[in-house]
Amino acid sequence: MPIFNSGEIKIAALLCAVLVAALGPRIAAATLGEPEITVQSDVAQLRASIKTSEDRASYRIHEIQLPGGTLLREFVAPDGNVFAVAWNGPTKPDLRQALGKYFDAFVSAPRPKFADRRHLQIKQGDLVVQGGGHMRAFSGRAYLASAIPSGVNLGDLH
Amino acid sequence: MASCIGPVRAVLVAACCLAAVACGGGGGSGGSGTPPPPPPTNNVVSVIVDEGPTSQSVNTLFTSVTVCVPGSTASCQTIDHIQVDTGSYGLRLLGPVLTVTLPVETLASGNSLVQCAQFVDGFSWGPVALADVQIAGETAKSVPVQVIGDSRFTTVPAACSGTGTAEDTVASFGANGILGIGPFELDCGNCDTVTHGLYFACATATTCTDTTVPNAMQVPNPVTHFAADNNGSMIDLPAVAAGGAVTLSGSLIFGIDTQSNNKSGTQTVLTVDGAGELAITYNGQTLANSFIDSGSNGIYFADSSIATCTTTLTSFYCPGNTLTLGLSIQGQNGVMVNNLTFGVGNAQTMLNAHPTFNAFPELAGTLPAGNAGTFDYGLAFFYGKRVAVAVEGNKTSVGTGPYIAF
């Protein structure tokens, strides 16, 4: 059963927001920890586009196609906030935009012992950032551990 | 020849005979007139697994590379501890260790070409410069290389710094440079037509914008620019005891089937896709986005049934007893290599037992569950093997690149 009781209204509102965003001069990508209304992707600046928006049992996913081929997915909780972002493709997305206020914590996190250039495992308080891959194929995700809705499997966040 | 040798002292014989050859050898006693072939290019450079320039490395393979200002035989520098990486493309050098000044490439617009090289855990910003690259006896003339952390371009544009953490010093990079010899020529693939935030045109040192770049100006796997032995390379490493070793020495051999020392023989060819990936089957699951990679320092895969370490090595496995596990590898060409085994040791116990070791064949780590389709078999795969990496489009006696063979 969908957890968005007024689902149609919210989807309409979202599409409206996306449309407004798409027409705006500079549209911020949906940002970790911020409301769904900020699912305003960087269409103008990054020439990105919302590929799909899909309701799952306990969250909603917006999939954004970046022009270089990378997909950025944003996971929205029933409370209306983005609780996770995930990416995969030939290059990494702009994580400053996707992680928003959590970006500084991400880049200032201490480098883990035995780090190599193929893996990313950062945990700073509530923020978890993970990644893998190599040149030509990157994947990763960032989530707020306390914001994950009940019933969501971490394995689904990709 | 006989008249030449006659009364002449032995010490002159060699010079005399060389003179005979130089004269054309038309009257040689053998009558063939064929001059001896030129000596083969030295295509072997030594490689080593050691603690690296930061004394923090594990399962990391290094070699030495000589770079010269193009056309110069005087402005040259040999740099040690360049990481050997089959999972990337191109030679990248850390600016702080460079003592020669390499000329930066200039785009048709007149702007300087600067790169934002992306790695999973960060980015490396620096200009693309031209160098004559020498490794063993091989030379690539005037090839684009990246100079990371170059003092000429210190302002990183937001589009680059937004991809993560800067790795622009030896301390943060963990090496004096990296030699990307993966199975493709270029580090991007379509940067000649699509901007990816990888290459930037800089009108000034602080004014840089994302740009497309002609292929010839991009940073290539330098092996592909060697005059000979340019179709790929082989990494030949000895086996390591399960508990590890302080250091491990082996060879990086250039070319495949180009000389007597790099024959494919009976090697099994596993072709890879456009990202350099193939399938590995582990624990009953076929993981389609898997790769074999000298640049990974462990064996990385997801298996929630294996205990992870609890202190500083939390992304590594720490099983109670060493595990012997199995896997199969399938190339894009459908060729299967079945029933390979690998060990997973307790990372913390191994490190505590041998804190000076730098090669640990049984060091294994986790992948996030979101990467469930990947098995990343790192440098440990190369221990005790000769592994060939053939570059895309090159035909050898056993297959056509891009492939990995062993």
**How many residues are present in chain A?**
158
Beta bridge partners of B121: none
Q: Are B262 and B256 in contact (CB under 8 A)?
A: yes
Does the pLDDT at position A36 exceed 80?
Answer: no
pLDDT at position B332 is: 98
Q: Are B57 and B109 in contact (CB under 8 A)?
A: no
pLDDT tens by residue, B310-329: 988 999 999 999 999 999 99
pLDDT tens by residue, B41-98: 999 999 999 999 999 999 999 999 999 999 999 999 999 999 999 999 999 999 999 9
Q: Are B362 and B242 in contact (CB under 8 A)?
A: yes
pLDDT tens by residue, B120-175: 999 999 999 999 999 999 999 999 999 999 999 999 999 999 999 999 999 999 99
pLDDT band at B38 (very low <50, low <70, confident <90, very high): confident
Residues in A 36-55 with any Cβ partner in B closer than 8 A: none
Question: Looking at beta carbons, which residues of chain B come within 8 Å of A134?
Answer: 87-88, 120, 182, 275-276, 291, 293, 295
Helices and strands in chain A: count of H runs, count of E runs: 4, 7
Instruction: Name the one residue in this structure whose structure tokens are 């798409």.
Output: A22
pLDDT at position B7 is: 38
Contact check, Cβ <8 Å, A135/B365: no
Contact check, Cβ <8 Å, A135/B187: yes
Cα B76 to Cα B93: distance, rounded to the nearest angstrom: 14
Task: State the sign of the Cα–Cα–Cα–Cα dihedral B317, B319, B322, B327.
Answer: negative
Of B182, B194, B315, the CB nearest to A121: B315
pLDDT at position A40 is: 61
Instruction: Name the one residue in this structure whose structure tokens are 């269409």.
Output: A43
pLDDT at position A105 is: 95
Q: Which two tokens mark A63?
A: 């999939």
Q: Are A89 and A102 in contact (CB under 8 A)?
A: no
pLDDT at position B17 is: 36
| B373-387 residues labelled b (16+ CB within 10 A) or e (exposed) | bbbbbbbbbbbebbb
| A1-17 residues labelled b (16+ CB within 10 A) or e (exposed) | eeeeeeeeebeeebeeb
pLDDT at position B171 is: 95
Residue A127, chain B, CB below 8 Å: the answer is no
Q: Which two tokens mark B401?
A: 């690149």
What is the percentage of chain A residues whose pLDDT exceeds 90? 50
| B196: closest CA of chain A, how far (Å) | 5
Cα B254 to Cα B138: distance, rounded to the nearest angstrom: 8
- Which residues, other chains included, contact B10 with Cβ-Cβ below 8 Å and sequence gap of 6+? none
Q: Which two tokens mark A70?
A: 């990378």
pLDDT band at A49 (very low <50, low <70, confident <90, very high): confident
For testing contact with chain A, the best of B92, B121, B191 (most A CBs within 10 A)? B121
Q: If residue B252 lies in a helix (H) or strand (E), which one and from where to where?
A: strand B248-254
**Strands B76-85 and B89-94, sheet pairing:** unpaired
Of B121, B197, B275, the CB nearest to A120: B121
Contact check, Cβ <8 Å, B165/A130: no
Q: How far apart are the first and last CA of chain A?
A: 23
Residues in B 6-65 with any Cβ partner in A closer than 8 A: 56, 58, 60
Cα B223 to Cα B138: distance, rounded to the nearest angstrom: 9
B236, B269, B230: which is closest to B399 by C-alpha? B269
pLDDT at position A5 is: 45
Residue A96 main-chain phi, psi, to 5 deg: -60, -40
Q: How far is CA B109 from CA B106, B113, B203, B325, in A?
A: 8, 10, 9, 55
Identity at B122, one-letter amino acid code:
G
pLDDT at position B281 is: 97
Task: State the sign of the Cα–Cα–Cα–Cα dihedral B76, B80, B85, B88.
Answer: negative
Q: Are B293 and B84 in contact (CB under 8 A)?
A: no
pLDDT tens by residue, B226-278: 999 999 999 999 999 999 999 999 999 999 999 999 999 999 999 999 999 99
B243, A112, A3, A2: which is closest to A120 by C-alpha? A112
Beta bridge partners of B128: B146
Dihedral (C-alpha) B56, B219, B85, B76: value to the nearest 10 degrees? -70
Q: Are B251 and B44 in contact (CB under 8 A)?
A: yes
pLDDT tens by residue, B282-294: 999 999 999 999 9
CA angle (B174, B178, B181) in 5-degree steps: 140
Q: Is B365 helix (H, G, I), strand (E, B) or coil?
A: strand
Q: Are B105 and B130 in contact (CB under 8 A)?
A: yes
B259, B260, B253, B279: which is closest to B388 by C-alpha? B253
Does the pLDDT at position B181 exceed 60?
Answer: yes
Residue A36 main-chain phi, psi, to 5 deg: -60, -25
Cα B401 to Cα B232: distance, rounded to the nearest angstrom: 8
Residue B105 main-chain phi, psi, to 5 deg: -70, 140
Of A90, A94, A132, the CB nearest to B159: A94
| B215: closest CA of chain A, how far (Å) | 15
Helices and strands in chain B: count of H runs, count of E runs: 5, 22
| B369: closest CA of chain A, how far (Å) | 5
Write the ipTM. 0.87
Neighbouring CB atoms inside 10 A of B45's CB total: 20
Q: Which bin fits B184, alpha (ψ -120 to 50), beta or left (φ > 0)?
A: beta
- Which residues, other chains included, contact A144 with Cβ-Cβ below 8 Å and sequence gap of 6+? A32, A33, A83, A84, A102, A126, A127, A128
Identity at A146, one-letter amino acid code:
S
pLDDT band at B339 (very low <50, low <70, confident <90, very high): very high
Q: Which two tokens mark B116?
A: 């934002």
| A127: closest CA of chain B, how far (Å) | 14
pLDDT tens by residue, A57-86: 889 998 888 888 999 999 999 999 999 999
**How many residues are present in chain B?**
406
Q: Which two tokens mark B370?
A: 């979101």
Instruction: Name the one residue in this structure whose structure tokens are 């497309």.
Output: B212
pLDDT at position B364 is: 98
Cα A29 to Cα A26: distance, rounded to the nearest angstrom: 10
Q: Which residue of A has its CA nearest to B54?
A: A114
Task: State the sign of the Cα–Cα–Cα–Cα dihedral B148, B151, B153, B157.
Answer: positive
SS (H, E, C) A80-100: CEEEEEEEEECCCCCHHHHHH
| B258: closest CA of chain A, how far (Å) | 28
Whether omega before B402 lies within 30 degrees of 0, making that bond cis, reads yes
